[in-house]
């Protein structure tokens, strides 16, 4: 299965997918295109280091969001990608892309949805909010993407304990390493194996 990976920053989740392709767990997965919302994203270096084609498409460089949306959709379709993986992508996708790839877009969110999600909850912010609320566990969620922030069917979640000395940065690192980098490749594996079905906004996983 060929996938497009969308990024905005460091690209540790992109790296986790690349590593799992290399170690054979995702041997049948091919990253056809990396789409970045920013020219400064270190994820672009990871893509070029691994000979993966990439493109920078930022809405602010286009006359309208609609024009940008069609450009994104066109790039993904031209690259022959069947699944879009939002791996630390911090922009909201355009309507046409979401419609054309209905049930074929997944996102990794750094909290246990429905906690600490929605508009404005990205990057370090869910971890700041989790510590401010005093939750005892947090984690990450892979879910399908629809027109609203973080509200599509949940595919996989993984939790870790919140520890007394955690800062937002320490908690973020633990969740990236122990949750995100594990469940994002796992979700891609399940989708490639046709093991995920959706009914009434609930995702079901076949054994
Ligand atoms: C990750 O923690 C990811 O879950 C989060 O941004 C970080 C990107 O890291 N995504 C969101 O907040 C989306 N709402 P990365 O660029 O190193 O993969």
Ligand 1 atom nearest residue 109's Cα: 4
18 lines ligand 1 (CB under 6 A): no
Mutate to test the pocket of ligand 1, among 6, 37, 123, 160 (most ligand atoms within 8 A of CB): 123
pLDDT average, residue stretch 155-178: 98
Please check the confidence at residue 147 and state whether its pLDDT lies above 90: no
Asked if residue 155 has pLDDT above 90, the reply is yes
127: pLDDT strictly greater than 90: yes
Ligand 1 contact, 142 CB (< 6 A):
no
Q: Which long-range CB contacts under 8 A does 48-54 form with residues at least 24 apart?
A: 50/18, 52/18, 53/79
Nearest residue to 52 (alpha-carbon basis) of 36, 38, 68 = 36
Q: What are the sequence ranges of the domains in the chain? A: 2-205
- Residues 103-120 have pLDDT tens digits of 999 999 999 999 999 999
Atom of ligand 1 nearest to the CA of 9: 16
Residue 109 designated active-site:
yes
Helix (H, G, I), strand (E, B) or coil at 193: coil
User: Among the ranges 90-94, 140-144, 147-151, which has the highest mean pLDDT value?
Assistant: 140-144
pTM check: above 0.85: yes
Residue 162 and residue 101: Cα distance in Å, rounded? 35
44 lines ligand 1 (CB under 6 A): no
pLDDT digits (tens, 9 = 90+) for 69-79: 999 999 999 99
Annotated catalytic residue within 20, 109, 127, 174: 109
The helix or strand, by DSSP H or E, that contains position 149, with its residue range, turns out to be none
CATH number, span 2-205: 3.40.50.170
> 88 CB less than 6 Å from ligand 1?
yes
């Amino acid at each position: 299965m060929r996938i497009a990976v969308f990024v905005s920053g460091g690209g540790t989740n992109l790296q986790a997918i690349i590593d799992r392709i290399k170690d054979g767990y995702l041997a049948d997965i091919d990253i056809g295109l990396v789409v970045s919302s920013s020219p400064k994203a270190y994820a672009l270096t990871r893509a070029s280091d691994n000979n993966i084609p990439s493109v920078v498409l930022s809405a602010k460089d286009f006359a309208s969001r609609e024009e940008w949306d069609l450009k994104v959709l066109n790039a993904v379709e031209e690259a022959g990608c069947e699944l879009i993986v939002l791996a630390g992508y911090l922009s909201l996708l355009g309507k046409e892309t979401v419609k054309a790839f209905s049930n074929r877009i997944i996102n990794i969110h750094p909290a246990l949805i429905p906690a600490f999600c929605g508009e404005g909850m990205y990057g370090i912010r869910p971890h700041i909010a989790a510590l401010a609320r005093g939750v005892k566990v947090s984690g990450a969620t892979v879910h399908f993407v629809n027109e609203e922030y973080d509200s599509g069917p949940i595919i996989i979640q993984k939790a870790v304990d919140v520890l007394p000395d955690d800062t937002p940065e320490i908690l973020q690192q633990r969740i990236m390493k122990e949750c995100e980098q594990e469940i994002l490749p796992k979700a891609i594996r399940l989708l490639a194996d046709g093991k995920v079905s959706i009914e009434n906004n609930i995702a079901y996983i076949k054994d």
